Chain A
Amino acid sequence: MNICTLCMKEIKSITFATYLLENPICNKCLKELNPRFEKIKINEIEGEAIYEYNDLIKTTLYRFKGLYDIVLAPVFINRFAFYLKLKYRGYIILPAPSFLESDKERGFNHVVDIFKILNMPVLQAFYKKTSYKQSSLPSKEREKVKDKIGIKIDLNLKGKKVLLVDDLLTTGSTIKTLIKLIKPYEPKSIKVLVMAHTTLKNN
């Protein structure tokens, strides 16, 4: 019998997905995760957020990012992988940056790993100049993020389609900065995909 990757209880009601997916979750957890595919717009760039931030996403992200439970990486989007692959065919994933040192300590990059299951080309074009945690900053400070993110210079993105991805979207300042940085390279189209949309209030 399979167990749910999130609540670790045995999956009682077996569905198609529990057979097909490598890390299945039970229906109760799926309902609690509550996928909504909310449309978002940042600086005229269209995008979507799969979930709205809630308690289960918070604890799961903590387990994944804080306790290094790498098995959890695909659970957020594996159910929608097929749909997302179709929708973003031909796109290159550009993950939001994380500080190299913390990636080393963790042994993986969490944003890359969440979207790894899509099997799309990934280009780590951005990097953080200094270590900072966006979630620990007040909203005014968050605006300054543009000085802290850098982009690799020798990129050939002209005429290509790029998909900017991140795990959490709060004020949108990180994504805004990424858009600003990527525009000079003249990609054919830019889209945004984030795992969960949060508001500062419930963070």
Chain B
Amino acid sequence: MGSFFVCKNCGNSDARYIGIRNGIKYCRRCLEFSGKKVKYKINKPINISPLLNYELTNEQKEISIKITKNFINKKNTLIYAVCGAGKTELVYDVISYALKKGLQIGFTIPRREVVIELAHRIKSTFPKAKVISVYGEQTDILEGNIIVLTTHQLFRYRNFFDLLIFDEIDAFPYKGNELLNIMFEKSIRGNYVIMSATPSKELINKIKKNGLVLTLFVRFHFQEIPVPKIYYGLIILKFIITLYRTRKYIKNHKPVLIFAPTIGIATNLFKILSKFIKNGGLVHSKVKNNSTIINDFKNTKLKYLVTTSVLERGITIKGLQVIIFNADHDIYNKETLVQIAGRVGRKKDEPTGDITYLITRITPAILASINDIKEKNEYLHSMYEGN
């Protein structure tokens, strides 16, 4: 008794998470978040504006300025924008403001693959700044002008970021992880900008109280977001449709992504599909050379990919077509379906594409996702009518 213990790292005092090592208590809950930590210091100011080889749309410019103003006023921002709206470009303005002041800038995303890609993108936009990426396998360099990191690495930066940009807050593994949420809140010194295409109502209400919610429901090329088409059928019919459609798309030189709900289904589907159509690939979390397969797909070496929801976010490919096999599966909620549908038509030269749901029953998530996309499209029409 009287041995009350509170973890300094995560604030845990639940006895079930506490272990004793050689007579000394330690917290088991945040044990994996132990390692080198970084102390706050002010960076050298860098005076650069973002280097872009394309022009931002008026909407994007307007929102960028609003974000910067909001940041100067020391308030938090939530950017609620549709998939393919060009969210990343929106924060370039506020990043260059923070660079000029020498503030500590962080850009965090739950997924490792996206961190690597994003760091390249930001580096090419701010070539003079020192852009570093921090994730599980890369933790040697921890300091720079712009730190791109996974949410799992936030624990290294306690009370550190003057500006923290958080993309895809509703993605796994951050979503529903209480501990990562604590680490996120503890790493902020100044203010944050959250970006999402599918924010929860609680999040919107939370930011509204003490910050600003900005919406961008139009894609930067001002085209409608393709609405998914539903096909009913039993397993064999679903497979025949998949086969037929994939063949058709490949004939028209369009890359195809086929989503399957589980690793097992994805593996089996690929096994059968690859007997009919060559040049395919299989990607899921247990495949080791994931990134090379995805790269082959981007370079059109591979014509189609069978995948699980690992590729639901952060992938942009010209002319992509999407088929969701068993879209009525329980793992597909509204957010996931909206994200997957948002993969299509993201490039200016090819703003359209097909999204096919193959189902045997209709679920609330399917209806909700279609309604969500239609709503955003209506917004686009109303904007034109307003003009």
Contact = CB atoms under 8 A, between A and B. Distances in A.
A138 interface: no
Given A3-B16, A3-B17, A8-B17, A108 B31 contact: no
Nearest to A67: B31
Do most interface residues of chain A lie in helix, strand or loop, or is the interface mixed? loop
Contact of A63 (B20, B21, B31): B31
Contact of A107 (B22, B28, B31): B22
Interface in B5-20: 16-17, 19-20
Contacts of B22: 107-108
A44 to B, nearest CB: 37
Contact of B19 (A2, A3, A69, A107): A69
Nearest to A10: B16
B34 interface: yes
A8 B16 CA distance: 9
A117 interface: no
B32 A63 contact: yes
B29 interface: yes
Contacts of A71: 19, 28
A30 to B, nearest CB: 19
A67 B27 CA distance: 11
Nearest to B23: A107
Given A3-B17, A67-B32, A68-B21, 16 more contacts: A2-B16, A3-B16, A8-B17, A8-B28, A8-B29, A63-B31, A63-B32, A67-B31, A67-B34, A69-B28, A69-B31, A70-B19, A70-B20, A107-B21, A107-B22, A108-B22
24 contacts: A2-B16, A3-B16, A3-B17, A8-B17, A8-B28, A8-B29, A63-B31, A63-B32, A67-B31, A67-B32, A67-B34, A68-B21, A69-B19, A69-B28, A69-B31, A70-B19, A70-B20, A70-B21, A71-B19, A71-B28, A107-B21, A107-B22, A108-B21, A108-B22
